[in-house]
Amino acid sequence: MHGPTDRMTRTPLAAGEAMLRKLQLHTSFTKTERQVLLALPMNHAYFAARDTIVHEGDALTRSCVLVDGFAARFKTLPDGSRQILSLHTAGDMMDLHSMVLEVADHGIAALSHVRVTYLTHAALLDASDRYPVIARALWRETLIDGSVFREWLLNIGRRDAYSRMAHLICEMKVKMEAIRLAREDGFPFPVTQAELADATGLTTVHVNRTMQRLRRDGLISTRGTDVLVEDWDALVDAAAFDPTYLHLRNH
Amino acid sequence: MHGPTDRMTRTPLAAGEAMLRKLQLHTSFTKTERQVLLALPMNHAYFAARDTIVHEGDALTRSCVLVDGFAARFKTLPDGSRQILSLHTAGDMMDLHSMVLEVADHGIAALSHVRVTYLTHAALLDASDRYPVIARALWRETLIDGSVFREWLLNIGRRDAYSRMAHLICEMKVKMEAIRLAREDGFPFPVTQAELADATGLTTVHVNRTMQRLRRDGLISTRGTDVLVEDWDALVDAAAFDPTYLHLRNH
DNA sequence: CGCAGATTTGAATGCAATCAACACTGGTGG
DNA sequence: CCACCAGTGTTGATTGCATTCAAATCTGCG
């Protein structure tokens, strides 16, 4: 694993935009607040698929925003088995909690070629102190994060493999739509079955067979790494999916 | 289920103390801040084992603190199956996140006879606005909450039944010790095997057999509803338990 | 082409679920 | 006082979902 391409330059506009768009899904900002957020000092870095963005146990002084691509947070057991805790898309602030907790109790890995932006905790805390709405928005972002973990707990603890996979696909579709990265002919989902296995608590073999069944049943289809939902109602039904836990305004 | 005994009187001192002691496990307060926290208007209520303290989907204007007894947060599936998301002991602020998220995306149930204290969101937000340390402490509390969910995700997704039960017992022991409710001869754990099943994503039958094995292997023993850890090292080893995720100062 | 990573398939095994009783406990009421 | 009952814990037998192990395609790419 050759380290990231780390460019200590001012961030391109799009980086702040991705974060802002995401925060605006649940919070309204004034013009000033938007400007403050966009003016935060940002460094960006690129990672290749399979790179580790943050290592478990690291002490952190900055949080990272996923600007482009797919990433996952994970924990590993001494025996090497891995559990993916969450999947992330553009705009996600993946370790905002480290702003307060300061030590990474889990790792973050790139699933595809990825671009991330770093925000120092110092700058975030400063903006939070000066603008209560920003503080509240960041807090809310971490709370939604927690809400998603709770849903995943239900997913892994009580749904069977079929329902579990269906639920994961529902979640990804809704997330991709929220940030306008889903199209009529499906959404990109460049995640290997081994990674899906780590995310669902299953094995790759079983993920494979379950995905086959979802296709055979006409709920989804795939083309390359894109997923197309063929029958949303049936998928939602199979998953017992209720998007409330995502706390998105438009859902 | 007959409603709670809801007494709209000033809270007895012990209620605020329980919360304060818990917050002080990770945050240092000045005398003033402590006084502000203890002076928050509190109403308390009692519930019997099996009562529902908060219903899934409720709109919330106050958060509750568990003062005495055991409680659990849970989600249910349309088919009636239930997943317990977390177990709580004295001092836990079980739905602090509702302060910002405002709708209960899960329920809270009493596992034993229970005493809770209600804090209005208005009062909490006011105290947060005036004392940044309090705001930070409450945020940290919700972040630790999220950290525990992540560990449970690993627990349920990747550990087998034996390791999973062992991990749950390790967590409870550490939590009970942190609030000084554990003694030499064990700690109270009045949770039925059906509830343990809902917490671990197993069935009651399998929980029963797994607990038997933990006893037979000499890792734990039980007396009534008390649990005594007979071999902590072996238990930690079986669970691959690392208390970092609890973010307690003394561990 | 040749190789590595990813997907797919097959067969055998096993962990945990399911179904069904039975035992034990504490509380209730006749 | 004891019969009764509900909830909890325990045990046995059976089933099945998911794992494990192994190997055969498939795909992209240098």
Mean pLDDT of A48-69: 95
B242 contact A CB<8A: no
Q: pLDDT confidence of A9, banded at 50, 70, 90?
A: very low
Q: Which of B194, B149, B73 is nearest to A83 (CA)?
A: B149
> In the prediction, which pLDDT does A140 show?
97
Asked if A108 has any chain B CB less than 8 Å from its own CB, the reply is no
**CA gap A167, B79 in Å, rounded:** 15
Question: Can you tell me the mean pLDDT for A113-129?
Answer: 96
Burial label, A92 (beta-carbon count in 10 A; 0-12, 13-18, 19+): buried
* pLDDT reading at A145 higher than 80: yes
**A95: part of which helix (H) or strand (E)?**
none
- pTM, to two decimals: 0.94
- Tell me how far apart the alpha carbons of residues B20 and A22 are, in angstroms, rounded to a whole number: 34
- Residue B205 Cβ < 7 Å to strand C: yes
**Helix and strand numbers, DSSP H then E, in chain B:** 9, 11
Q: Dig out the tokens for B68 from the structure.
A: 């005495």
Chain B residue with minimal CA distance to A243?
B105
Q: How are beta strands A220-223 and A82-88 bridged, if at all? A: unpaired
Task: Compute φ and ψ for B40, nearest 5 degrees.
Answer: -60, 140
B211 strand C contact, CB < 7 Å: no
Distance CA B109, CA B111 (A): 6
Least confident of A15-29, A234-248, B27-41, B162-176: A15-29
Question: Is A226 in contact with A189 (CB distance < 8 Å)?
Answer: yes
pLDDT in tens, B75-102: 999 999 999 999 999 999 999 999 999 8
Instruction: List CB contacts (< 8 A) between B149 and chain A.
Output: 146, 149-150, 153
pLDDT at A130 over 50: yes
A 122-141 residues inside an 8 A Cβ radius of B: 129, 132, 135-136, 139-140
Residues of B in contact with A101 (CB under 8 A): 140, 143-144, 147, 247
Q: What is the mean pLDDT of residues B211-240?
A: 96
Which residues of B are less than 8 Å from A55 in CB distance? none
| Those residues with Cβ within 8 angstroms of residue A13's Cβ, 6 or more apart along the chain or in another chain | A38
Mean residue pLDDT across chain B: 93
Q: Do B139 and A139 make contact, defined as CB atoms within 8 angstroms?
A: yes
Strand D–CB A213 distance below 7 A: no
- Per-residue pLDDT of B97-127, as tens digits, reads 999 998 999 999 999 999 999 999 999 999 9
Q: CA separation (Å) from A5 to A2, A45, A115?
A: 9, 6, 10
Contact between chains at A147 and B101 (C-beta distance less than 8 A) = yes
Q: Is the pLDDT of residue A8 over 70?
A: no
Tell me the residue length of chain A: 251
Closest in A136, A146, A151 to B146, CB measured: A146
**pLDDT of A250 strictly over 70:** no
A249: confidence class by pLDDT, cuts 50, 70, 90: confident
Q: What is the pLDDT of residues B47-66, one digit of tens each?
A: 999 999 999 999 999 999 99
Confidence class for position B3, pLDDT limits 50, 70, 90: very low
pLDDT at B82: 96
| Of the candidates A94, A110, A90, the residue with the CA atom closest to the CA atom of residue A15 | A90
Cα atoms in the Cβ-side hemisphere of radius 13 Å centred on A59: 0
B105 touching A, CB under 8 A?
Answer: yes
Q: Is B142 on the interface with A (CB under 8 A)?
A: yes
DSSP A50-84: T-EEE-TT-B-SEEEEEEES-EEEEEE-TTS-EEE
Q: Which of B149, B157, B200 sits opposite A150 (nearest CB)?
A: B149
What's the pLDDT at A7?
45
- Is pLDDT larger for residue A18 or for residue B153? B153
Q: Give me the pLDDT at residue B2, please.
A: 40
Pick from B66, B85, B178, B225: nearest CA to A150: B85
Whole-number pLDDT of residue B14: 75
Mean pLDDT lowest among A143-152, A177-186, A242-251, B129-138: A242-251
| Cα–Cα distance for residue pair B75/A159, rounded to 1 Å | 12
Q: How many CB atoms lie within 10 A of CB B37?
A: 22
Q: Are B191 and B111 in contact (CB under 8 A)?
A: yes
CB A116 within 8 A of CB A64: yes
- CA A101 vs CA A62, A106, B94, B129, B145: distances in Å: 11, 12, 19, 21, 11
**C-beta neighbour count of A125 within 10 angstroms:** 16
Q: Tell me, what's the pLDDT at A96?
A: 97
Residue with tokens 């084992």: B49
Give the distance, in angstroms, between residue B200 CA and nucleotide C17 C1': 14
